[in-house]
């Protein structure tokens, strides 16, 4: 089961003096950073803190239930050069004791607001991606205006320091979320999903899961080396000589599905064996369909999808990229392969397809090890509270931040 959160003392209401936090996100509510921000808000509310959001309309549309009962300001724009956007953020931040951002649009807007004097509260960043050293644009201004940076993995923390941010103002805080639904197995829901997705055929195909966003850019083409490694997976699939299906969770749009089918065909995989469930707020049941969970990313900050797979008892395969090495213990809860190496990935897929006992051992060990790590919502909230107590102790003990 997930790591329990220890009690920190009596929960005081925000109006009685505890922290008022504004989280600023430019995503549409479907990304990993969005899930972490929501998990942090849920946990902090249990501790008596007030958490508000400044987000675009898409975020509200996809996370309406999670936002119910919260103060939410809808941003029409995240342009740091827009007077309207800066004014809306300034109004949303009135009365906030701390402003926390999770993605690039939010960082750019809050930095501009801070520079122009429209943001009085301390500004923190939570980084979910690896920073490319040695040059970090805006680094001098971030040292001046950003009070603290939270890094979602050790490798991100190291890249921040290498890029010029003071180590004393960087804290590693593993990205986490509520994992209880991934530990709980609903066999009835799993059977219904299996039938609905056409996986209840005989003989049962080997089911490979990949949970990742799919981004395209103006000069994108199917042969491109994709940051999330879709091309690596498809090239590896071209080497398999047995029936398989690929469950792709993340790409939400039909045009993305067609683009990925085209990419699969270019790299020799079977486009008709790709399954796209579309966007799902609760994806825990889908992990129960997977024989293996794969993340072949290039420069991955952490790989929260791998953590979810471990909680669901699914063996995981990941490129030896960035924070993935902090999640996968090679040979114990899954396997690592060299970044971009489709041949190595194919070999691991073939081995796991042929050795069901190995899959069971890796899945069981992964679940056990996850109970000893810091990837769930409780650890995320506790780590944030510890950092807050260290950086702004009065905010935790019932007084406003200066």
Q: Dump pLDDT digits (tens) for 114-165.
A: 999 989 999 999 999 998 765 556 667 778 899 999 999 999 999 999 888 8
The per-residue pLDDT for 10 is 27
pLDDT at 12 > cutoff 80: no
Tens of pLDDT along 324-341?
Answer: 999 999 999 999 999 999
pLDDT at 265 > cutoff 70: yes
Higher pLDDT, 394 or 369: 369
Percentage of the chain surpassing pLDDT 70?
A: 91
Q: With beta carbons less than 8 A apart as the criterion, state whether 124 and 150 touch.
A: yes
Average pLDDT value for residue range 202-219:
92
Q: With beta carbons less than 8 A apart as the criterion, state whether 74 and 55 touch.
A: yes
Conformation bin of residue 317: beta by default, left when phi > 0, alpha when psi is -120 to 50: beta
pLDDT at 101 > cutoff 80: yes
Q: Is 81 exposed, middle or buried (0-12, 13-18, 19+ CB in 10 A)?
A: exposed
Question: Between the CA atoms of 249, 254, 259 and 265, what dihedral angle is there, to the nearest 10 degrees?
Answer: 80
Question: How far apart (Å, rounded) are the C-alpha atoms in residues 231 and 233?
Answer: 5
Domain boundaries, the chain: 14-178+376-395, 184-370
Give CA separation, 220 vs 215, 223, 256, 264, in Å.
9, 8, 12, 14
| Residue 53 φ/ψ, nearest 5 degrees | -130, 145
Q: With beta carbons less than 8 A apart as the criterion, state whether 355 and 61 touch.
A: no
Residues facing 170 on adjacent strands: 149
Six-digit token string for 317:
């395969």
The per-residue pLDDT for 137 is 60
| Residue 56 φ/ψ, nearest 5 degrees | -75, 170
pLDDT at 6 > cutoff 80: no
Looking at the structure, give the CATH architecture of the domain made up of residues 184-370: 3-Layer(aba) Sandwich (3.40)
Half-sphere exposure of 127 (CA within 13 A, CB side): 28
In order, the DSSP letters of 165-217 are: --GGGEEE----B--HHHHS--HHHHHHHHHHTT---SSPPEEEEEE------
Beta pairing, strands 170-172 & 148-151: parallel
pLDDT band at 394 (very low <50, low <70, confident <90, very high): low
pLDDT at 224 > cutoff 50: yes
Same fold: 14-178+376-395 with 184-370: yes
What pTM was computed for the model?
0.89
pLDDT at 4 > cutoff 50: no
Percentage of the chain surpassing pLDDT 90?
A: 70
pLDDT at 15 > cutoff 60: no
- Among 1-5, 130-134, 313-317, which is the least confidently predicted range? 1-5
Rounded to the nearest 10 degrees, what angle do helices 356-370 and 342-354 cross at? 100
DSSP 8-class letter at 14: G
pLDDT band at 109 (very low <50, low <70, confident <90, very high): very high
Tens of pLDDT along 40-74?
Answer: 999 999 988 999 999 999 999 999 999 999 999 99
Residues facing 55 on adjacent strands: 74
pLDDT band at 354 (very low <50, low <70, confident <90, very high): very high
For 223-244, give the secondary structure using H, E and C: CCCCCCCHHHHHHHHCCCCCCE
Closest CA relative to residue 198, chosen from 123, 86, 147, 273: 273
The per-residue pLDDT for 135 is 52
Average pLDDT value for residue range 188-192:
84
- Among 197-201, 344-348, 373-377, 397-401, which is the least confidently predicted range? 397-401
Average pLDDT value for residue range 246-257:
93
- Domain 14-178+376-395, CATH among 2.60.120.10, 3.30.310.50, 3.30.1300.10, 3.40.50.2000: 3.40.50.2000
pLDDT at 186 > cutoff 70: yes
């Amino acid at each position: 089961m997930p790591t329990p959160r220890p009690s920190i003392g009596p929960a005081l209401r925000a109006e009685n003096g505890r922290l008022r936090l504004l989280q600023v996100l430019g995503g549409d509510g479907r990304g990993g950073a969005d899930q972490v921000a929501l998990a942090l808000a849920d946990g902090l509310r249990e501790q008596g803190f007030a958490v508000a959001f400044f987000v675009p309309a898409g975020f509200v549309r996809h996370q309406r239930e999670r936002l119910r009962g919260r103060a939410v300001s809808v941003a029409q724009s995240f342009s740091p050069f827009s007077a309207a956007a800066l004014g809306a953020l300034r109004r949303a931040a009135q009365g906030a004791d701390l402003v926390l951002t999770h993605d690039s649009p939010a960082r750019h807007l809050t930095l501009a607001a801070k520079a122009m004097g429209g943001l009085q509260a301390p500004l923190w960043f939570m980084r979910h991606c690896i920073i490319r050293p040695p040059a970090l644009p805006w680094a001098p201004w971030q040292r001046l205006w950003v009070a603290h940076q939270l890094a979602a993995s050790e490798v991100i923390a190291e890249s921040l320091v290498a890029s010029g941010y003071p180590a004393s103002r960087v804290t590693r805080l593993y990205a986490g979320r509520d994992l209880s639904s991934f530990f709980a197995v609903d066999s009835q829901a799993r059977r219904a999903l299996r039938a609905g997705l056409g996986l209840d055929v005989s003989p049962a195909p080997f089911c490979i899961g990949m949970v990742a966003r799919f981004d395209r850019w103006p000069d994108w083409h199917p042969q491109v080396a994709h940051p999330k490694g879709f091309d690596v997976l498809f090239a590896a699939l071209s080497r398999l000589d047995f029936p398989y299906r690929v469950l792709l969770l993340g790409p939400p749009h039909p045009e993305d599905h067609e683009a990925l089918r085209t990419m699969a065909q270019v790299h020799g995989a079977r486009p008709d064996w790709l399954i796209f469930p579309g966007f799902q707020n609760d994806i825990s049941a889908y992990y129960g369909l997977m024989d293996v969970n794969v993340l072949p990313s290039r420069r991955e900050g952490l790989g929260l999808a791998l953590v979810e797979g471990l909680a669901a008892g699914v063996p995981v395969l990941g490129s030896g990229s960035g924070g993935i090495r902090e999640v996968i213990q090679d040979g114990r809860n899954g396997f690592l392969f060299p970044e971009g190496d489709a041949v190595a990935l194919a070999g691991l897929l073939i081995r796991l397809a042929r050795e069901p006992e190995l899959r069971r051992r890796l899945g069981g060990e992964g679940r056990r090890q996850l109970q000893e790590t810091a990837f769930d919502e409780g650890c995320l909230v506790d780590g944030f509270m510890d950092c807050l107590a260290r950086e702004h102790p009065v905010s935790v003990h019932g007084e406003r931040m200066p």
